Amino acid sequence: MASVTVRNLFVSYHRGRTVAVDHVSFSVGDGEFCVLLGPSGCGKTTILQCIAGLIRPGAGEIVIGDKVVTSAEKNIFVRPQDRNIAMVFQEYALYPNLTVRENLAFPLECQGLPRKEIETRVQSVAEMLGITELLNRRPAQLSGGQRQRVALGRALVRQPTVFLLDEPLGNLDAQLRVQVRYELKRIQRQLHATMIYVTHDQTEALTLADQIVLLKNGKIEQKGSPQELYEKPSNLFVASFIGSPPMNLVEGNVMPQEGAMWVDAGVFKVRVEALQLGKSLAPNTKVMLGIRPADISGRPSSPTDLRISATVDLLEPMGDSAVLHALSAGFKITAKWEGSLLRPGEAVTLFVNPSKIHVFTLPDGGNVPKALAGAAGLEGRASL
Amino acid sequence: MRGLLSKVVVLALLLTVTALYLLPLWGALTTSLKTDEEIDLTSPIAWPQRPTAAGYINAFNYLKRALLNSVLITLGGTLGSVGLGAICGYALALYSFRGANLVFLLLAAGIFLPFQAILIPLFQTIRTLRLYDTIGGIVLAHTAYGIPMCAVMFKTFYSEVPKALVRQAVTDGSGPWRFYWKVVFPSTKLATVTILIFQFTSIWNELLFGLVLGGPRSMPATVALNNLVGTLAAQWNIQMAGSLLLTLPVLIVYIFLGRYLVRGYMAGAVTAV
């Protein structure tokens, strides 16, 4: 396996009028599972195709292992077939006229391996994926999940240095997606494989990735571990993109009152000190406050918790827990609910630990970082 | 009741048109089986009193050299134009390269080039190549002239091959040739059969190239049959038998492979993607 480094990658279409990838840099360590995440049109697939060698970028450099495979500046371009990468597409892209066995053997035949070796490798991959009994079938005779497994097998059989996966679970139904996701992660661990995985599904990203590179409009918004992106989103976009159900966002104004600084969000008021920020907020600054649904609870976790009185709009049961949609002074609040069953119209009191509230400055949406060691015991006060 | 009546009327109309259409063929069949004397005495569409194969034997003896020429010309021309057209269509449909649009435009223009417009330069070219009155010369002409039509038809069929398959093949380390022979060609047999039939029929029935580029040694059966008119003016039975002999291969191809032709024209070319 090998590491992958992307430096200053730039791709544009229509003679520079549409910028698909805008000076993106990141690196993926040996054996790391990296997810390129973002809404459609953010350039994630283009980056993957640049790594694969299917697209020549306008600028930038790509290094696989210790070999420069693409460099616009040094005019280096290694052909896709010479990069020792394997790619899995969302559409499976199985050769329709070949059997599963022939599909798996195809890349090895291209490498000119001896027949014996091809057979051994195909057999062992088929066993690893549990598709031995499908070897003589054609793609048309397989279900979606089986096809995806064969596509994965065709990548595995090559024993490449890097796996590139372009929304490989996109065409599977929900149940199968969870199952194949698990298998993929297991195989990746087992082989200590370097994988770069493209998806727009943040759940997939959070569950699979060692590192997430979150993109928007061809630019990196944030890169880091799933935990980092979830707990320390660098801006409003990251905060609202990561997490399901999405973060509650409410606008507030910073104002001095009773000798202290407060953020008045309408629904509630909170002392700036209680937010435990790493820097102070100037009076009359406009901010966006973000609260994760999981950080809202029906019971207080400490006496300093904010109290929000709300009316139940809808409770969506999810089996072991529920998603609560409630209204408070016209503000829609979403919370992960583990308490008793609630009826629409019922009054409910919600509690939020103010230190868990994310603060973003407006209009740029940048995150105001938290203080490293939180000062405890500062109270907040709900206005309702 | 009205429905039945209109059905009967439509059927009668169709039968009449079919009969009119088939009448010359019927006349050719009856005449080909008659003796010279009977031809002079009876109606052309009357069934012969004593059918004889003499017309066919004479026609075959007269045409056998030309029929062999036709077979060679048709095989060569068909394989040449379909083979090269397939490669052109494959490249145009699945690979992007500089000038692809221009190449396609020129090929499409080639389809609409009338035979007559190129006859004289073609004749001069073939003569300069010392290929006048050779099978090779006529095959070359048919191949060149057939490539545009074949390429455009193949391009249409091959465009249905998903682009993801091409990308997959590239990352799998397959070159365009391997991908073509292992995947594209076997998945689009219907397209190939359709275009083969199309070219076979066109070249087998073609007269003008054979007339201009062929001589006594290389003339195809269409030209030889045409020559019968002048040389054996009165022997209708031989001419009719010759005509039917010439129609036979095309007819056989249509009977056995016609369903592919219809399916190829109507439906997608890629099976089971």
Q: Give the pLDDT score at B265.
A: 56
Q: Which residues contact A136 (CB under 8 A, 6 or more apart)?
A: A99, A100, A101
Tracing tokens 């076997």 back to the chain, one arrives at B186
Domains detected in chain A: 4-240 (3.40.50.300), 245-361 (2.40.50.140)
- Least confident range from A220-224, B11-15, B161-165, B196-200: namely B161-165
* pLDDT tens digit sequence for B195-237: 998 899 999 999 889 989 988 889 999 998 888 776 655 688 8
Domains detected in chain B: 1-52 (no CATH), 56-266 (1.10.3720.10)
The ipTM of this complex is 0.72
Confidence of residue B269 (pLDDT cuts 50, 70, 90): very low
Query: Pairing relation of β-strands A33-37 and A211-216?
Result: parallel
- Inter-chain residue contact A107 with B272, CB threshold 8 Å: no
Regions in chain A scoring below 70 on pLDDT: 372-384
- Inter-chain residue contact B182 with A85, CB threshold 8 Å: no
A173-177, A255-259, B47-51, B127-131, range with greatest mean pLDDT: B127-131
Tracing tokens 């499409």 back to the chain, one arrives at B108
| Angle, CA A109 vertex, CA A107 and CA A115 arms, to 5° | 130
- What single DSSP character describes residue A240? H
Q: Which residues contact B90 (CB under 8 A, 6 or more apart)?
A: B154, B158, B176, B180, B184
Q: How far is B106 from chain A (nearest CA, A)?
A: 25
For residue B94, is pLDDT > 80?
Answer: yes
User: What is the number of CB-based contacts under 8 A between chain A and chain B?
Assistant: 67
Question: CA-to-CA distance for A193 and A176, rounded, in angstroms?
Answer: 22
Average pLDDT, whole number, for chain B?
87
Q: How far is A310 from chain B (nearest CA, A)?
A: 51
Residues of A with CB under 8 A from a CB of B: 49, 52-54, 80-81, 85-87, 89, 91, 93, 95-98, 106-107, 109-111, 138-140, 154, 158, 164
Neighboring chain B residues of A154 at a CB cutoff of 8 Å: 172
Q: Answer for the pair A220, A26: CB distance below 8 angstroms, yes or no.
A: yes
Neighboring chain B residues of A80 at a CB cutoff of 8 Å: 170-171, 173
For residue B70, is pLDDT > 60?
Answer: yes
Q: Answer for the pair A198, A36: CB distance below 8 angstroms, yes or no.
A: yes
Q: Which amino acid is at B3?
A: G
Nearest by CB to A140, which of B170, B178, B272? B272
Tokens of B260: 């592919």
- Inter-chain residue contact B272 with A97, CB threshold 8 Å: yes
Query: With the CA atoms of A63, A69, A72 and A73 taken in that order, what torsion angle do they form, in degrees rounded to the nearest 10?
Result: 70
Q: How far is CA A289 from CA A59, A239, A381, in A?
A: 38, 11, 15
Q: How far is B186 from chain A (nearest CA, A)?
A: 7
- Inter-chain residue contact B167 with A81, CB threshold 8 Å: no
Q: How far is A101 from chain B (nearest CA, A)?
A: 14
Neighboring chain B residues of A54 at a CB cutoff of 8 Å: 167, 170-171
Q: How far is B168 from chain A (nearest CA, A)?
A: 7
Confidence of residue B249 (pLDDT cuts 50, 70, 90): confident
Q: Answer for the pair B225, B207: CB distance below 8 angstroms, yes or no.
A: no
- Inter-chain residue contact A81 with B172, CB threshold 8 Å: yes
Q: Please name every residue paired with A322 in a beta bridge, in sequence order, or none if there are none.
A: A317, A337
